């Protein structure tokens, strides 16, 4: 795992733990043994530390971290501070030679060396916050000494790696070497022989003049962009300690803060989310070798909100796309909105103008099906109406080539019924993009009864190519996303009827960590769309079961949310929400008419009813085999619905609360609101009674 070789008077210590030279206990021991051999050998006058294969060192293996976080492995498995100290105190110069990446513990190891050289494409960072942790082997103390407090705070609190060029200009590396990394590093080491070796921990010139306002600004940013997360704030506190404490005391403070993060459920949740995203690509009967069709040309029917966003998604991936609508007016509107969206990115400096032009040129507006016969994939994005959709499927079936994949972007409707409008149900699949389609990472892939494995493999490969997370779900009303949204929205609406204000409902869920409150989300998506989804579920609801009323009234009044300036809330021209007294009056009237006695409702009840609504429905989806695994449901809610990553997703979250507690709360709601709404899912009951979680 660690090799030792001599190049005349320079010892070369090579980390060799493929694929990313992860730091394990064996690797720590190997490094220590190699350093000691280099120390004991009088011929050795300098040391180069390098990684074998494609990278220097990716840090600690996440599976090991997961076991440490779960208490299944001792904390002593982590990179020991003492080893880094031994390297730093080594009497002969030590040069870290970095290629690929030096991340997390990998960068901490490199910073304990006296010098760092790197290849031009190398990247370096402290990404621990992305799994709810902070650097724990002196990274928060050595990094500010090398790059300054402001940059160290940014790297440790937000986790983005930096390039070789930036590392050089900041002083994190001493030289970028263009030729052979090892040869150049050995040459560098020879130059350093006999010179005093700089110890990072003693280099405190960059700590002087640290501006406290930069720390405050970072805290502000962390509270805004990493709302609810402990690790970014802990990372800032740890870097701050470098400015107020000695190196040793700073390391102790770092350890304390690291341990706090390690003990929190947040790191467990974020590690779960990390592995959950990787697990979605495993579909048991669609092994990786399943043939996938090559998608070179795409055609879309419907140039509305979704069709336009989907066309941009394909154009962004360099795929030529035809965009068809039924009327010139709709087509013009669609193309104008695409052009506006790209122009907005150009204006913000996020997209070069030439790239915008290239992408626009890839989208061909059409009123006819001309060119559809060449498409490898046709995506239907017309109105959410089965009759209209079946009509479109029958038409494209007559035109598409035999190998073409026929997809629907429906958010709720039965894929099998659409498939039955064609003579090739095996080619039909749901590709449920989320709005805005060119931004949202989630792609729900709906597998109909007849959908072939090749079409599923093609859809999964397509998701990857588009930079999306493809989650496969079986066909049912609403699939995973919309079906779970139904009880979530329903409870939010019931809560306002029962006495909570729109703002209280939104606020409670924002404080829970959701990107936005449920009613704010309905206003953003459009109450016309939310209402239509409600109708689909209403058709299958048992008779006599309570149904929210206010949304019907808002819908009838044409109050569709942000797009009409009024919905659950009022909106100004900048789409800033405000309390709308008319909504309040409507709610009170609806409650009166339904004989609902209004009362004060706690934030806890709001959160429990909305979130346990998700959990109970998620349990049903698992039992019915709609979702392959609980973690897939979590991924859907994390990537498509703004569920807080530090809670791990609804199914993971339920486990952190304890399923018996979740079940007993659902039983309370059932007693109060009736069995039609809150019947506990049998799977939830079984797991709770057996003392298990969903995972």
Q: Which is nearer to ligand NAD, 109 or 301 (CB)?
A: 301
Binding mask 515-554 for ligand NAD (x = CB under 6 A): ----------x---x-------------------------
475 binds ligand NAD (CB under 6 A): no
Question: Structure tokens of 401?
Answer: 């080539």
Can you give the three-state secondary structure of 74-110, one letter per residue? Answer: CHHHCCCHHHHHHHHCCCCCEEEEECCEEECHHHHHH
Among 302, 567, 655, 680, binds ligand NAD (CB under 6 A): 302
Instruction: Determine, following the binding rule CB under 6 A, whether residue 428 of this chain makes contact with ligand NAD.
Output: no
> Residues 50, 235, 298, 392: which binds ligand NAD (CB under 6 A)?
392
Q: How far is the CB of 407 from ligand NAD (least distance, A)?
A: 11
Contacts with ligand NAD, 308-337, as mask; x by CB under 6 A: ----------------xxx---x-------
Nearer to ligand NAD, 400 or 687 (CB): 400
Place of tokens 């990390």: 274
State which residue, 56 or 369, has the beta carbon closest to ligand NAD: 369
Contacts of 149 (CB under 8 A, 6+ apart): 206, 207, 210, 211, 214, 215, 239, 240, 242, 243
Cβ nearer to ligand NAD, comparing 44 with 392: 392
Binding mask 247-286 for ligand NAD (x = CB under 6 A): ----------------------------------------
* Piece in contact with ligand NAD (CB under 6 A), picked from 344-352, 405-413, 414-422, 622-630: 405-413
Q: Is 381 in the site for ligand NAD (CB under 6 A)?
A: yes
| 382 near ligand NAD (CB under 6 A) | yes
Can you spell out the DSSP letters for 311-380? Answer: HHHHHHTT--EEEE-SSHHHHHHHHHHHHHHHHHHHHTTSS-HHHHHHHHHHEEEESS-TTGGG-SEEEE
Figure out which of the listed residues 37, 281, 337, 435 binds ligand NAD, where binding follows CB under 6 A. 435
Known catalytic residue at 605: no
Give the binding range for ligand NAD (CB under 6 A) out of 154-162, 281-289, 295-303, 606-614: 295-303
Q: How many angstroms separate the CA atoms of 695 and 692, rounded?
A: 8
Measured between alpha carbons, how far is 467 from 438 in angstroms, rounded to an integer? 10
The helix/strand/coil state of 540 is helix
- Applying CB under 6 A, does 307 fall inside the site for ligand NAD? yes
Q: Which of 8, 86, 128, 624 is catalytic?
A: 128
Nearest to 517 by CA among 568, 478, 553, 442: 568
Residue 7, strand partner residues: 10
Asked if residue 399 binds ligand NAD (CB under 6 A), the reply is: no
Q: How many residues bind ligand NAD (CB under 6 A)?
A: 24
- The smaller minimum CB distance to ligand NAD, of residues 28 and 534, is found at 534
* Nearest residue (CB) to ligand NAD, 301 versus 587: 301
Nearest approach in angstroms of CB 527 to ligand NAD is 12
Distance of CA 291 to the CA centre of its chain: 28
Q: Which is nearer to ligand NAD, 309 or 487 (CB)?
A: 309
- Can you state the angle between helices 659-673 and 603-623, rounded to 10 degrees? 100
Query: Which one of the listed residues 26, 72, 108, 491 is annotated catalytic?
Result: 108
Q: H or E stretch including 505?
A: helix 502-512
Pairing between β-strand 115-118 and β-strand 94-98 as defined by DSSP bridges: parallel
* Calpha distance 108→251 (Å, rounded): 12
Q: Is 409 in the site for ligand NAD (CB under 6 A)?
A: yes
Residues ≥6 apart with Cβ < 8 Å to 390: 417, 418, 421
Concerning whether 108 is annotated as a catalytic residue, the answer is yes
Q: Which residue is nearest to ligand NAD (CB)?
A: 304
Judged by CB under 6 A, does residue 639 bind ligand NAD?
Answer: no
> Sign of the CA dihedral 396, 397, 401, 403?
positive
305 binds ligand NAD (CB under 6 A): yes
Check: CB of residue 77 under 8 Å from CB of residue 128. no
Stretch that binds ligand NAD, among 8-16, 150-158, 257-265, 407-415 (CB under 6 A): 407-415
| Out of 21, 66, 411, 639, the residue judged to bind ligand NAD by CB under 6 A | 411
**CA neighbor of 488 nearest in space, from 249, 650, 300, 270:** 650
Is residue 410 within the footprint of ligand NAD (CB under 6 A)? Answer: yes
Residue with smaller CB distance to ligand NAD, 252 or 330: 330
Q: Where are the beta strands (DSSP E) in 79-224?
A: 94-98, 101-103, 115-118, 123-125, 162-163, 175-176
**Residue 384 interacts with ligand NAD (CB under 6 A): yes or no:** yes
Q: Quick one: tokens of 270?
A: 């974020």
Collapse the DSSP code of 43 into the 3-class scheme (helix H, G, I; strand E, B; otherwise coil) and give the result: coil
**Residue 626 φ/ψ, nearest 5 degrees:** -70, -45
Shorter beta-carbon distance to ligand NAD: residue 641 or 669: 641
Residue given tokens 């409707």 in the structure block: 413
Give the binding range for ligand NAD (CB under 6 A) out of 52-60, 169-177, 379-387, 509-517. 379-387
Q: Please identify, using beta-carbon distances, which residue of 368 and 542 lies nearer to ligand NAD.
A: 368
Q: Which residues pair with 571 in a beta bridge?
A: 577
Site residues, ligand NAD (CB under 6 A)? 301-307, 324-326, 330, 381-384, 388, 392, 409-411, 434-435, 525, 529
Q: Which residues are catalytic?
A: 108, 128
């Amino acid at each position: 795992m660690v090799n030792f070789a001599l190049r005349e008077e320079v010892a070369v210590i090579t980390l060799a733990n493929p694929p990313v030279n992860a730091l394990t206990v064996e690797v720590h021991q190997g490094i220590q043994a190699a350093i000691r051999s280099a120390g004991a050998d009088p011929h050795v006058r300098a040391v180069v530390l390098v990684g074998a294969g494609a990278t220097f060192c990716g840090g600690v293996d996440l599976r090991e971290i997961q076991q440490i976080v779960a208490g299944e492995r001792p904390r002593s498995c982590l990179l020991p501070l003492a080893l880094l100290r031994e390297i730093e105190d080594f009497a002969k110069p030590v040069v870290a030679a970095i290629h690929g990446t030096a991340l997390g513990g990998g960068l901490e190891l490199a910073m304990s060396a006296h010098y760092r050289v790197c290849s031009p494409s190398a990247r370096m960072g402290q990404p621990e916050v992305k799994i709810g942790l902070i650097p724990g082997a002196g990274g928060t103390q050595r990094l500010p000494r090398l790059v300054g407090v402001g940059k160290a705070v940014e790297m440790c609190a937000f986790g983005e790696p930096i390039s070789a060029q930036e590392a050089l200009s900041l002083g994190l590396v001493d030289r970028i070497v263009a030729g052979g990394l090892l040869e150049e590093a050995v040459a560098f080491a020879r130059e350093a022989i006999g010179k005093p070796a700089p110890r990072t921990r003693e280099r405190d010139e960059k700590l002087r003049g640290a501006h406290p306002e930069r720390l405050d600004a970072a805290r502000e940013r962390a509270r805004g962009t990493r709302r609810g997360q402990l690790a970014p704030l802990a990372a800032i506190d740890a870097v701050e300690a470098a400015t107020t404490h000695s190196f040793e005391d700073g390391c102790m403070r770092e350890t304390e803060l690291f341990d706090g993060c390690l003990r929190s459920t947040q790191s467990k949740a974020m590690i779960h989310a990390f592995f959950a995203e990787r697990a979605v690509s495993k579909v048991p009967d669609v092994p990786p070798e399943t043939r996938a069709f090559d998608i070179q040309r795409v055609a879309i029917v419907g140039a509305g909100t979704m069709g336009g966003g989907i066309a941009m998604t394909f154009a962004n991936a360099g795929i030529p796309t035809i965009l068809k609508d039924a009327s010139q007016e709709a087509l013009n509107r669609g193309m104008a909105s695409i052009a506006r969206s790209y122009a907005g990115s150009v204006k913000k400096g996020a997209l070069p103008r030439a790239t915008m032009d290239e992408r626009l040129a890839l989208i061909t507006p059409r009123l006819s099906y001309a060119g559809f016969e060449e498409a490898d994939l046709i995506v239907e994005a017309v109105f959410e109406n089965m009759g209209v959709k079946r009509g479109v499927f029958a038409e494209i079936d007559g035109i598409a080539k035999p190998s073409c994949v026929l997809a629907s972007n429906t958010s709720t409707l039965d894929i099998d019924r659409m498939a039955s409008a064609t003579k090739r149900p095996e080619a039909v699949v749901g590709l449920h993009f989320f709005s805005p389609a060119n931004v949202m990472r989630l792609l729900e892939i709906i597998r109909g009864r007849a959908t072939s494995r090749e079409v599923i493999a093609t859809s999964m490969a397509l998701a990857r190519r588009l930079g999306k997370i493809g989650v496969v779900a079986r066909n049912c009303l609403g699939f995973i996303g919309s079906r779970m949204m139904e009880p979530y929205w329903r409870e939010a609406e019931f809560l306002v009827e029962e006495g909570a204000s729109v703002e209280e409902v939104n606020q409670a869920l924002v404080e829970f960590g959701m990107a936005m409150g449920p009613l704010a989300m309905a206003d953003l998506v459009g109450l016309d769309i939310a209402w239509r989804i409600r109708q689909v579920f209403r058709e299958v609801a048992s008779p006599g079961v309570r149904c929210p009323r206010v949304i019907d009234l808002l819908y009838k009044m044409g109050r569709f949310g942000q797009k009409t300036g009024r919905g659950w809330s009022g909106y100004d021209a900048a789409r800033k929400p405000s309390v709308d007294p008319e909504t309040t009056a409507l709610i009170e009237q609806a409650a009166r008419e339904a004989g609902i006695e209004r009362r004060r409702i706690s934030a806890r009840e709001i959160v429990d009813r909305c979130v346990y609504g998700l959990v109970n429905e998620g349990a049903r989806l698992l039992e019915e085999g709609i979702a392959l695994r609980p973690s897939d449901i979590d991924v859907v809610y994390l990537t498509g619905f703004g569920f807080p990553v530090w809670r791990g997703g609804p199914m993971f979250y339920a486990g952190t609360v304890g399923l018996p507690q979740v079940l007993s709360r659902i039983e309370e709601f059932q007693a109060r609101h009736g069995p039609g709404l809150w019947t506990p899912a049998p799977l939830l009951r079984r797991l709770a009674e057996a003392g298990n979680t969903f995972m």
